[in-house]
């Protein structure tokens, strides 16, 4: 019997590798090209045409997600989400409608399905003038590429059976001030929705920048296209005075829930054999820039941003034009020919692996703390158990205070306390849970309690 179970386990493919294998570079290519074919997807563009503008694009995305949902056996639902924006809004002075497209893949496990994990990309676009709704704004990289991650992610994951719920969110209004994401996140917060991780993809289709083969006429160095940046904030936005005091006293400024989410993505990228690796960047976003993940952070939800390296600002938020390079005429702008479908498929695979790993993991332990009633030379940790029935145990992790990622790990089995024989002065501690299949939760940074 034992041998039969073992053989069955060896034969069964890993659900993550399975989902990853369903991502298609060809479909990524077609999706970007189709999104660009709407001419502009500016949030204030024409809402009556069936072939041009933001609403035509939204309806097409909805149809594609419905086609993906057909493979889910009724577990994935798709809807258009609309919000009214009042006149006087900064980049929507006349007010108007914000349209998002949402697909929800219902979780399969009773104790887990209330938890939600998100793939996000914005499908609105802009030319050089953020208030111009009429000019062509192909937005191939910004952000048809991120929208493609969400849509292709939905196609790849529709046949998967995650324990927690996965949400695929295509927003608009990003260029007008993150409006679609903001209104969605605020509504979720007001309804008490439990969002435990948001993976925002914005500008993820072109890692070649000014070294793009179309510009230079020769191949770019392969290492430029081998990774994607994963941005995460260190200190949570809008912390209470009490939270800030605790962050200061524990030196917790590198250990927000969003930072643990970024480290989780990093571990998934290392564990699975993926072509595009994550590169952690420890700041909210590119220097003084922003994106839809910020709207989720404002609402109190952990969120990170994926962006390809080597941005070329001559092609971002620009009007389509023609330039001459070494005697050759080249179309410039945020055009589909600059998006690399293989690279984009690689970023999609990383997202699919990470979001499924999150949704299949048990919930993280709560109230993780170092016990400090007496001064001791060892470190005792305690935590509250994860409620899910398939939780099999816990791991204590640690790292040097100068290390970006967790380096030490000790199994605590199913105990909810562990003492390690070294000082808590020189390292940071955290705890994560794991289930019977070996899925691990993100880490919870250890606080302190006089117990």
Min dist. Cβ of residue 246 to Zn ion (A)? 34
What is the distance between the alpha carbons of residues 200 and 169, in angstroms, rounded to a whole number?
9
Is 173 or 362 the residue whose CB approaches Zn ion more closely? 173
Min dist. Cβ of residue 123 to Zn ion (A)? 10
**Token pair 């053989």: residue:** 7
Window 277 to 316, contacts with Zn ion (CB under 5 A):
none
Is 285 or 395 the residue whose CB approaches Zn ion more closely? 285
By CB under 5 A, which span of 30-38, 138-146, 257-265, 415-423 interacts with Zn ion? 138-146
Q: Which of 152, 202, 334, 340 binds Zn ion (CB under 5 A)?
A: 202
Rule CB under 5 A: say whether 142 interacts with Zn ion: yes
Min dist. Cβ of residue 143 to Zn ion (A)? 4
Min dist. Cβ of residue 291 to Zn ion (A)? 6
Q: How many residues bind Zn ion (CB under 5 A)?
A: 3
Is 202 or 395 the residue whose CB approaches Zn ion more closely? 202
Is 175 or 395 the residue whose CB approaches Zn ion more closely? 175
Q: Which of 64, 136, 143, 152 binds Zn ion (CB under 5 A)?
A: 143
By CB under 5 A, which span of 16-24, 87-95, 198-206, 423-431 interacts with Zn ion? 198-206
x-marked contacts with Zn ion along 44-83 as a string, rule CB under 5 A:
----------------------------------------
DSSP-assigned beta bridge partners for residue 398: 408, 429
- In this structure, how many other beta carbons lie within 10 angstroms of the beta carbon of residue 406? 20
Is 315 or 424 the residue whose CB approaches Zn ion more closely? 315
Min dist. Cβ of residue 202 to Zn ion (A)? 4
Is 125 or 363 the residue whose CB approaches Zn ion more closely? 125
Is 81 or 142 the residue whose CB approaches Zn ion more closely? 142
Rule CB under 5 A: say whether 206 interacts with Zn ion: no
Q: Which two structure tokens, joined as six digits, stand for 161?
A: 């059976």
Min dist. Cβ of residue 434 to Zn ion (A)? 36
Min dist. Cβ of residue 141 to Zn ion (A)? 9
Q: Output the 3-class SS for the chain.
A: CHHHHHHHHHHCCCHHHHHHHCCCHHHHHHHHHHHHCCCECCCCCCCCCCCCCHHHHHHHHHHHHHHHHHHHCCCEEEEEEEEEECCCECCECCCEEEEEEEEEECCCCCCCCCEEEEEEEECCCCCCCCCCCCCCECCHHHHHHHHHHHHHHHHHHCCCCCCCEEEEEEECCCCCCCHHHHHHHHHHHHCCCEEEEEEEECCCCCCCHHHCHHHHCCCCCHHHHCEEEEECCCCCCCCCHHHHHHHHHHCCCCCCHHHHHHHHHHHHHHHCCCCCEEEEECCCCCCCCCCHHHHHHHCCCCEEEEECCCCCCCCCCCCCEEEEECCEEEEECCCHHHCCHHHHHHHHHHHHHHHHHHHHCCCCCEEEEEECCCCCCCEEEEEECCCCCCEEEEEEEEEECCCCCCCEEEECCCCCEEEECCCCCCEEEEEEEEECCCCECCCEECEEECC
Min dist. Cβ of residue 344 to Zn ion (A)? 15
Min dist. Cβ of residue 149 to Zn ion (A)? 12
By CB under 5 A, which span of 60-68, 129-137, 141-149, 262-270 interacts with Zn ion? 141-149
By CB under 5 A, which span of 143-151, 176-184, 212-220, 335-343 interacts with Zn ion? 143-151
Is 142 or 163 the residue whose CB approaches Zn ion more closely? 142
Rule CB under 5 A: say whether 267 interacts with Zn ion: no
Q: Which two structure tokens, joined as six digits, stand for 102?
A: 């949402």
Min dist. Cβ of residue 292 to Zn ion (A)? 8
Is 11 or 288 the residue whose CB approaches Zn ion more closely? 288
What is the distance between the alpha carbons of residues 292 and 269, in angstroms, rounded to a whole number?
23
- ω into 235 cis (within 30 of 0): no
Is 122 or 424 the residue whose CB approaches Zn ion more closely? 122
Min dist. Cβ of residue 142 to Zn ion (A)? 4
Is 172 or 256 the residue whose CB approaches Zn ion more closely? 172
State the pairing for strand pair 379-384/366-371. Answer: antiparallel
* Binding site residues, Zn ion, CB under 5 A: 142-143, 202
């Amino acid at each position: 019997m034992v041998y039969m179970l073992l053989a069955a386990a060896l034969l069964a493919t890993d659900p993550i590798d399975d989902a990853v294998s369903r991502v298609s570079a060809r479909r990524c290519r077609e999706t970007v090209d189709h999104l660009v074919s709407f001419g502009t997807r500016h949030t204030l563009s024409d809402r009556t045409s069936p072939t041009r503008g933001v609403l035509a694009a939204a309806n097409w995305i909805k149809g594609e997600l419905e086609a993906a949902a057909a493979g889910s056996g009724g577990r994935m639902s798709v809807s258009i989400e609309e919000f009214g924006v009042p006149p006087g809004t900064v980049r929507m002075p006349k007010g108007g409608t914000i349209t998002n497209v949402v697909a929800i893949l219902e979780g399969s496990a009773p104790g887990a399905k209330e938890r939600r994990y998100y793939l996000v990309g914005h499908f609105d676009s802009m030319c050089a003038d953020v208030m111009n709704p009429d000019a062509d704004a192909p937005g191939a990289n910004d952000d048809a590429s991120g929208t493609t991650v969400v849509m292709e992610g939905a196609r790849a994951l529709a046949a998967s059976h995650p324990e927690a719920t996965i949400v695929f969110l295509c927003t608009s209004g990003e260029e007008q001030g993150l409006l679609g994401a903001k209104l969605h996140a605020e509504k979720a917060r007001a309804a008490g929705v439990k969002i435990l991780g948001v993976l925002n993809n914005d500008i993820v289709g072109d890692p070649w920048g000014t070294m793009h083969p179309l510009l230079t006429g020769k191949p770019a160095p392969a290492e430029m296209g081998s990774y994607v940046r994963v941005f995460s904030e260190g200190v949570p936005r809008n912390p209470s005075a009490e939270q800030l005091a605790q962050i200061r006293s524990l030196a917790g400024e590198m250990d927000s829930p969003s930072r643990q989410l970024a480290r989780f993505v990093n571990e998934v990228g290392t564990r699975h054999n993926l072509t595009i690796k994550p590169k952690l960047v420890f700041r909210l976003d590119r220097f003084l820039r922003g994106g839809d993940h910020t709207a989720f952070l404002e609402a109190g939800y952990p969120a990170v941003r994926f962006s390809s390296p080597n941005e070329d600002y001559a092609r971002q938020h620009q009007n389509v034009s023609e330039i001459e390079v070494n005697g050759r005429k080249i179309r410039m702008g945020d055009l589909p020919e600059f998006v690399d479908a293989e690279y984009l498929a690689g970023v999609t695979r990383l997202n699919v692996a990470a979001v499924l790993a999150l949704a299949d993991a048990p919930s993280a332990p709560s109230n993780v703390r170092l016990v400090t009633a007496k001064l001791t030379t060892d470190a005792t940790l305690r935590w509250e158990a994860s409620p899910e029935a398939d939780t099999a145990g816990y791991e204590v992790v640690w790292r040097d205070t100068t290390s970006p990622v967790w380096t030490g790990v000790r199994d605590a089995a199913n105990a909810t306390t562990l003492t390690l024989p070294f000082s808590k002065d020189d390292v940071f501690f955290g705890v994560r849970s794991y289930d019977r299949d070996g899925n691990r939760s993100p880490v919870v940074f250890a606080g302190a309690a006089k117990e």
